[in-house]
Structure 1
Amino acid sequence: MNASKVYFTDMRCKVGTSLLDKLDKLILAAGIDRIDFENKFVAIKLHFGEPGNLSFLRPNFAKAVADRVKALGGNPFLTDCNTLYVGRRKNALEHLTAAQENGFSPVSTGCQIIIGDGLKGTDDVEVPVHGGKILQTAFIGRAIMDADIFISLTHFKGHELTGFGGAIKNIGMGCGSRAGKRAMHCNGKPSVDAEKCRGCRTCTRFCAQSAITVTERKAHIDHEKCVGCGRCIGVCNFSAISSDIDAQSNDVNRRMVEYAKAVVDGRPHFHISIINQVSPCCDCHGENDAPVIPDLGMLASFDPVALDHACIDAVNAAPVIASSILGQCDHSQHDHFTSIHPTTNWHSQLEHAEAVGLGSADYELIVV
């Protein structure tokens, strides 16, 4: 397989040229205009940031991409799916409010925002995983699958479970519905917190296996009947049903890769990563630690695997900020994310991605 082309531009700006100008120039150089956008719906997948976190990508980056899509004749919308854990983005109403608090609106981004898996995280499509080695199907947000073209816009950073959060994680984990996220994170089946349960019976109406009964105003799940779909987690208004996040790093990475493949297969896709404010943990946290390296630049490619590999190499070649958590770690092996999260294995993302045909880790870096 030939090396995939990855385009790079740094964060330096001459007077009169902004980072947004450079981003537009970058994605044009990378060939985004080779996609036929005319009258097509275009999902731009990004992370809106958990409120309290300040390292997520600013809305200005999204607007630059949306404006270029519109100039090419497309109809863009920003999207993300609801979270599995209990936070400020677990349903569409809270998710949209969180996005607005963080500055995302049709005015600031030039396009509408649609939560991909609907009000309660249950509006999904079961999509085949072609070439999957672990999964046969993936539960992806319906609005994302309804789009004609898919673009990922990623804040490249560390992650406490997957090692790093790049394009593959933004696509795979981010586009999974609440049921999909459960399938990636959890090996077990959901359980009920009796103190939180109100006995409302909403979960019983959505369980296709009739595995949930309510006695003495408390729900009970029969694990013999339960298939672990996670639908009950999404529909519970009181956060009384949950699964332990018990899958290990390699398990999550491989399932996440197969979800990413389900998202992009069969339609045009394009990927952008921004290496700035590189925090050690995910933007899903309601806080962020200090950046571990200086801001590096912006990258774009048609190949998300090559893009992630190029970002990893760039980060590992960068100097460590001494006052950061990385500055306090043993980084003699020059593997920054493993130094921060030694129990993770980010390599399994790229290895499995190549194995299932998502892309190639072999890349040619072209400086713009």
Structure 2
Amino acid sequence: MEKSKVYYTSMRTGLDTNLPKKLKKLILKAGIKDIDFDNKFTAVKIHFGEPGNLAYLRPNYAKVVVDTIKELGGKPFLTDCNTLYVGGRKNALDHMESAYENGYSPFSTGCHVLIADGLKGTDDLEVPVEGGEYVKAAKIGRAIMDADIFITLSHFKGHESTGFGGCLKNIGMGCGSRRGKMEMHSAGKPYVEQEVCIGCRRCTRECAQDAITVENKVAFIDHNKCVGCGRCIGVCPQDAICPASDESNDILNCKIAEYSKAVVAGRSNFHISLVIDISPYCDCHPENDAPIVPDVGMFASFDPVALDVACADAVNAQPILPGSLLDESEHAGHDHFGAVSPTTNWRSCVEHAEKIGLGSMEYELIEVE
């Protein structure tokens, strides 16, 4: 089997170039120009960063990708889905404000922002997963599935549940609607933190299964009736309804791989990962810790599995930065992500992704000067 091609360029620049120019050269060399963009809607999946976190990708990188797609005839838009947890991206209005606060406006990036799963995270499509072992139909934000072409621009960094957050995490978890995210995170159903609930009954009006009742101004969820759609989480004004989050990390990673396959199957897709500001945890946090290793560079490929493996290998080849969380870890070794989050196994995602035919873990690294 032929190895997948992964293209790479360092973060070094000279008087005759800069990082935006290097990124454009990288993605052109990697073959983005071979995609037929002619008048096609192109979703550029990105993480806009939780307000308070400063490790997220600068919008300047997104503009390079957007401008290149436009030059090739496409109609790009930046997109993400709402979060399952409390924060600045829980609904589309807050999500767009967070994106704008972090610099992702049409004026800075050259295209519009669309929150793919709608106002409350309920606008999704069920997409079959061919060969899925854990998921038969992934719940994906509608705007992402409506696009003709799918592109990712990912910030490669650590993650406390999956080992690292890279391309597959950006696709699988990032494109899941609220009920999709619940399906990946949980083997159970939502519950009510009763000391927070005010008994406003918004959840009862939203529940199509009549699974929620209110007694003495406190909501209760009947798990025999609940189907785990997550709509109640989105409408609760007190954030009193929480997902179970009881799935093992290995199965979470496998579900992410299966969701990723549902997103990319049957249409042109291309993937870019920037291995910079490598914080130990996700950009979903409203803060970021110091980087655990030095900046590595920019990577691109048509194969999201090979891309993630190449980025992980590159990070693990780096020296540990003094004073970082990794430097303080008792588990320091050849796997930097395992040292930071020792209960995780990032290989479970890429191995399962390869198993279900999403891509190959074998790659050829091609450097672009």
Matching residue of 1:49: 49
What code does the residue aligned with 1:157 have?
A: K
The alpha-carbon deviation at position 212 of structure 1 amounts to: 1.9
Alpha-carbon offset, residue 238 of structure 1? 2.9
Aligned residue in 2 for 1:229 = 229
**Partner of residue 292, structure 1:** 292
The aligned residue for residue 29 of structure 2 is: 29
Match of 1:78 in 2: 78
The aligned counterpart of 1:166 is 166
- Over residues 146-204 of structure 1, what are the superposed CA-to-partner deviations in whole Å (9 max), with x where a residue is unaligned? 11100010000000010000100000001111111111111221112334434443323
| Mapping for residues 178-327 of structure 1, pairs under 5 Å | 178-327=178-327
Residue 293 of structure 1 deviates from its aligned partner by: 0.9
- Number of residue equivalences: 368
**Once the 2 structures are TM-superposed, how far is the Cα of residue 97 of structure 1 from its aligned partner?**
1.0
Q: Aligned with 1:219: secondary structure?
A: strand
Shifted more, 19-28 versus 325-334: the winner is 325-334
The residue identity in structure 1 corresponding to 2:131 is G
Question: Partner of 1:127 in structure 2?
Answer: 127
In 2: Cα distance, 1:354 partner to 1:367 partner:
24
**Normalising to structure 1: TM-score of the pair?**
0.97
Between the aligned partners of 1:246 and 1:193, the Cα distance in structure 2 is 16
For residue 348 of structure 1, give the secondary structure of its aligned residue in structure 2.
helix
Contact 1:122–1:235 (CA under 8 A) maintained in structure 2: no
Distance between the aligned counterparts of 2:104 and 2:38, measured in 1? 25
Q: Distance in 2 between matches of 1:138 and 1:111?
A: 27
C-alpha deviation, 1:329, in angstroms: 2.3
Query: Runs of 5+ in structure 1 lacking a partner?
Result: none
Match for 1:135: what amino acid?
V
Distance, in Å, in 2 between the alignment partners of 1:104 and 1:211 is: 39
1:110 corresponding residue in structure 2:
110
Distance 1:106 1:332 in 2: 43
CA–CA separation in structure 2 for the residues paired with 1:281 and 1:114: 25
Displaced runs of 4+ in structure 1, greater than 6 A? none
Q: Taking structure 2 as the reference length, what is the TM-score of the superposition?
A: 0.97
Q: Percent identical across equivalent pairs?
A: 65
- 1:216 and 1:316 map into 2 onto residues whose CA distance is 54
Q: Distance in 2 between matches of 1:330 and 1:194?
A: 38
Contact 1:179 1:234 in 2 (8 A): no
Q: Is the 8 A contact 2:62 2:109 kept in 1?
A: yes
List per-residue Cα deviations over 1:273-322 (Å, max 9, x = no partner).
00111000000111111111111110000000000000011001111112
Q: Secondary structure at the residue paired with 1:314? A: helix
Structure 2: stretches of 5+ with no match in the other structure: none
Deviation at 1:332, TM superposition (A): 5.3
Is residue 292–residue 327 contact of structure 2 (8 Å, CA) maintained in 1? yes
Residue aligned with 2:278, SS: coil
Larger CA deviation: 163-172 vs 201-210: 201-210
The 2-side partners of 1:272 and 1:230 are apart by 31
